[in-house]
Structure 1
């Protein structure tokens, strides 16, 4: 390319001549030819003199002359030449100063002719440069020209910085904040900023400034009203009102307000995006009249930039409103009142980004003074994630209300999501809280561990062995979810949340959990106030993820209630689950007022569970419930998947088994066996005498 360009550039023979052209010399003019392909610029002797350089100091590269021209004026000269080439012009001309060897500055003027090829691409510039000292010798004219140059550079800098700031604005209010900030349009001399947005066939006008020029902060205008904004939106052309008299003559209805705040001129710009008006911008000036051509071009160009960013912000707000509306529609409209507990829930959409998330919470009232609480997060940030979340929330609620134990609820939900036509998975934590006993059964599917705040105000994270996220556990055949049994005393609080409350850019996950525990410990005891505090901190920090939060403070139910029930899944070959079942039995029996018989009840229940695990191939499900009637009784049920009924036998002294049912028969008041569709249930009852 460079070689071809060099060969096409035709210079006069023996150019530059040893003796300059007398006409050019008399007018203190020099010539140059700039090859745009090679980047080389050839100058004659007069040009050397004007730039005050020696031939041996110049290597035909224009960059060598950069040091001779003040930086600001060098940028201005480059801008003039670039604009002429981009807009297809054939000529350009501009003034600039050259720094001489003695340090003084000389005014010069350059005019160039841009030669283009057949395709219209600029290939070279032929021009002259001349000494303009005499024509600018008058000090007043020189100062005025310097002032104009400085003003243009200053205004250009304001426009560039404003345009850069607008690129980061996400909402309409963000754009207004950028335009009225210290380095925004206010420093172009405008005392007031007025923006009109086209909405539903009307113009909603918002005013910003030290004084409201309309006495009301917001106005609604029709397109046919006699005001500047409707006019520029109708005509798609800017309107410059240059004097107070023009305001009074053209817009008599607006003139009283304008005169009241001292406005003397105004520039109204249509904001056009994709060929249609989306609004208008008004800049009102106090103490200034008239707009020259440069002012008008500058403001019109800026209006175009504002329009593009404004449209992006309007799309952002529309999509965000739609996303948040969909998200909130998928969440429970209200949570049920649960006797014995104070519960607070919160959802906050991401501060950054406009996509909807899949975070959710739920509260399910269960029989017998129990409540199920759920916190979860579907993979992704889009409407599909929200749709999956809505379906999954309903399914989890249905399985919990049907009476399934927490492990079964999570496993069934995983199968449902796996069979759903989606590639999404979800993390989830489900806790079933018996508010009468304080026993909490927790199942975790790839989600964050819960936190518990104690009565003394301290707060700690509770590690819970978890399974795979919902959907993935069904895909990989890992549906056995371990159950962790906790004890929640009266006055203690259970804290469940999604990772948006813990994780943020540049932070470690463990540090985030520690910070959350500290915030809960230092926060108020009231669940509503604490929820507001935690979500307020998340709002201030910002982030790219949604936040869901659920707080449950146990107040207790006082006396034992009829219908109290507790269930625990015990897996074969899992001593930890058997130990959890024993702890659950011990805690429930004490809470139900049967502490005097706690040892016997625990022994009998342990025997029934052990028999189920030893004599069947599957797991066991143990259920404790309180029955009321003529006598208050505690019923223990152990279910397994075998249809073979247990039988009593007399064990010899040397045998190590065979005495279990005899022990059951002696210690409990009554026992029996019920056939179930998938196996059997061995049950026993104890009369509560305490």
Structure 2
């Protein structure tokens, strides 16, 4: 007996009709789908899943899963048409190919309709999907379809080509260069291209090709309020299509004087570049002999705008990060290097071109109280903020140890112990060079770092072969590893180049090749330190690719400074009474050679007082250093260094006292005097000048 609900068209009858509809769709190779817009979830029935190549339970409802089955060259055009349908609240009809798990390609046709709520807001998309392979194979014999497929393939190739061209770009300049290349114009069949970037209420032209210089110059930076096509595209967020020059002159009068230069230009498009719902720029293209844009061409240009916008947004973020990183790095480097008579120097720091651009390379220079100069370059392991922070601490520690007067090897050893105690799990390499600009005496200490390059006065170059120790920070806690010190003489007119390994290391070459290349660059460069540093960085950048940050320090001793003979250093032995007499004779002879004879009597007296105090109270050897002070007229500086950290004290001296008058004499006869802590001892100094007549 037939169910009464079925006879009267009740629920059972309606269910039968729905089932029959699904069966009919499946028989014809069709299925249905529902796309819930608020959640983004896509629902396919069993027939639709079969068309899309999904087995039972394989589809997770995500749009990205569908995109993985589609061809990458066709995906941007499909997305553009769907976006347009959602914007206009209409529908779409799409043909695209699906790659099944077996690798077979199938043409698929999808037709959808946008359903809105009571407020005209898109709520869901319903539609059908079907296998279009037979249909397209039947029509494929016609010339019209073959031409359409060629056009579609060409348009997809254009998007694919531009995507490939933008993949290696990093900075905004890279993006501008890629988009304005001649090969891109050929691919697009365009006669000119211009790229503009939004900057604080203005649009700035950052790249162009095929435009007159006058036009680029006059509209290089324009307000977004002006009647200009790029500005209009940014303001309205819609592409601007122009089909002839008369229309261009009518809509944008300020461009009329420049249009005669485009004698063959017939059409133009100005596409807004929108990233994260924010206009960041615009792209303009002009075409020779073109009178209109087809629907497919407009779709491709819209897809092109999205691809360019994503790359430009990524480049903007990189440039900001790189600027911040470079600012942090530069803030941790010394603001200036000291000026020392007899020495010329130059320093350079170049951040890496990789993302972030921050590292642990550094340089530093300081002048010691006795006139010697300490130059340092180093590299902390890693390329991150931690490496930069450790670099800043290590640079300051090295500077402090050197300023205390420790020997060069001790400075490096203490810095290694300091880095170990920081417990950062980072190590560092370092090269320290101590130079006396008057004599050229040079002490070199190397800790796992490249040695210096010596450029002699005649222009010949060599790497100095100096022994080295372990990198800093690899010693055990509480110990100070030994670092050998090498001594040499830097001749007049000679220069030393100190650098980090980023200057010579290339990804696809042995470091030895980079070292040889650097020798040739230094030998072929100018002699002046600033020019030499720029020359070396420029010539080596093409070889290394700027993949690592680089610190460079160049120090050059003057050719005709005349300072080499105006410094005297004499040891005074506590076990040799004659050494003090020998020091007085050497001082008298030196002052006579320097034409400072009138200072001899006072200088000898004070030198004896300083040396005697050191021998009596320090209970060890001492060193007398005498140097000419040229910028104070006839003047000489006397300094006695000993191993005692105790500073001299002035004591009251009676008529019968045998001591206590030394500092009184120094105060009375010297123009100035002082005591400097040297870490492992002290230096007492004074300056003797010619009294005014």
Regarding TM over 0.5, the answer is yes
**Structure 1: any 5+ residue segments left out of the alignment?**
1-8, 17-32, 41-74, 96-108, 137-141, 568-587, 595-619, 642-675, 684-690
Give the C-alpha shift of residue 439 in structure 1. Answer: 1.9
Does the 8 Å contact 1:203/1:221 carry over to 2? Answer: yes
Is 1:125 aligned to 2:124, yes or no?
A: no
> Which residue is 1:106 aligned to?
none
Mapped to 2, the partners of 1:448 and 1:134 lie a distance apart of 68
Mapped to 2, the partners of 1:358 and 1:622 lie a distance apart of 40
> Which residue is 2:242 aligned to?
241
Q: In the TM superposition, what whole-angstrom CA distance separates every residue of 1:633-678 from its partner, at most 9, and x where no partner exists?
A: 999967499xxxxxxxxxxxxxxxxxxxxxxxxxxxxxxxxxx999
Mapped to 2, the partners of 1:631 and 1:210 lie a distance apart of 69
Is 1:223 aligned to 2:205, yes or no?
A: no
> Which residue is 1:179 aligned to?
179
Does the 8 Å contact 1:364/1:373 carry over to 2? Answer: yes
Q: In the TM superposition, what whole-angstrom CA distance separates every residue of 1:600-640 from its partner, at most 9, and x where no partner exists?
A: xxxxxxxxxxxxxxxxxxxx998563379999999996749
Mapped to 1, the partners of 2:72 and 2:508 lie a distance apart of 44
Mapped to 1, the partners of 2:514 and 2:621 lie a distance apart of 37
Mapped to 2, the partners of 1:134 and 1:473 lie a distance apart of 76
* Superposed counterparts of 1:149-188, under 5 Å: 149-188=149-188
> Which residue is 2:339 aligned to?
337
Does the 8 Å contact 2:359/2:549 carry over to 1? Answer: yes
- Alignment partner of 2:556 out of 545, 549, 553: 553
Q: CA RMSD in A?
A: 5.0
Q: SS state of the match for residue 183, structure 1?
A: helix
> Which residue is 1:468 aligned to?
470
Mapped to 2, the partners of 1:527 and 1:78 lie a distance apart of 53
Distance 1:460 1:476, change over 3 A: farther
Distance 1:479 1:592, change over 3 A: farther
> Which residue is 1:356 aligned to?
358
Is 1:515 aligned to 2:521, yes or no?
A: no
Distance 1:332 1:518, change over 3 A: same
Mapped to 1, the partners of 2:283 and 2:27 lie a distance apart of 58
Does the 8 Å contact 1:437/1:592 carry over to 2? Answer: no
Distance 1:394 1:562, change over 3 A: farther
Q: SS state of the match for residue 325, structure 1?
A: helix
Q: SS state of the match for residue 254, structure 1?
A: helix
> Which residue is 2:316 aligned to?
314
Q: In the TM superposition, what whole-angstrom CA distance separates every residue of 1:376-421 from its partner, at most 9, and x where no partner exists?
A: 1222223443343334333333332332221232233334444558
Q: SS state of the match for residue 468, structure 2?
A: coil
Mapped to 1, the partners of 2:159 and 2:27 lie a distance apart of 47
Mapped to 1, the partners of 2:317 and 2:76 lie a distance apart of 37
Mapped to 2, the partners of 1:430 and 1:79 lie a distance apart of 60
Q: In the TM superposition, what whole-angstrom CA distance separates every residue of 1:430-482 from its partner, at most 9, and x where no partner exists?
A: 11112233221122222212232334543332233333333333647234332
Does the 8 Å contact 1:91/1:113 carry over to 2? Answer: yes
Give the C-alpha shift of residue 275 in structure 1. Answer: 1.5
Does the 8 Å contact 1:442/1:485 carry over to 2? Answer: yes
Q: SS state of the match for residue 473, structure 1?
A: coil
Mapped to 1, the partners of 2:168 and 2:621 lie a distance apart of 57
> Which residue is 1:346 aligned to?
348
Question: TM-score, structure 1 length as denominator?
Answer: 0.64
Distance 1:480 1:636, change over 3 A: farther
Question: TM-score, structure 2 length as denominator?
Answer: 0.64
Q: SS state of the match for residue 253, structure 1?
A: helix
> Which residue is 1:298 aligned to?
300
Distance 1:437 1:504, change over 3 A: same
* Superposed counterparts of 1:28-39, under 5 Å: 36=51
Q: SS state of the match for residue 454, structure 2?
A: strand
> Which residue is 2:262 aligned to?
261
Distance 1:256 1:145, change over 3 A: farther
Q: In the TM superposition, what whole-angstrom CA distance separates every residue of 1:573-611 from its partner, at most 9, and x where no partner exists?
A: xxxxxxxxxxxxxxx99x9899xxxxxxxxxxxxxxxxx
Q: In the TM superposition, what whole-angstrom CA distance separates every residue of 1:297-333 from its partner, at most 9, and x where no partner exists?
A: 0000010000000011111222222222333333333
Does the 8 Å contact 1:368/1:564 carry over to 2? Answer: no
Distance 1:520 1:397, change over 3 A: same
Distance 1:392 1:566, change over 3 A: farther
The number of equivalent residue pairs is 526
Distance 1:351 1:161, change over 3 A: same
Is 1:208 aligned to 2:208, yes or no?
A: yes
* Superposed counterparts of 1:533-682, under 5 Å: 533-541=535-543, 542-555=545-558, 557-558=561-562, 625-626=625-626, 639=643
Mapped to 1, the partners of 2:267 and 2:149 lie a distance apart of 23
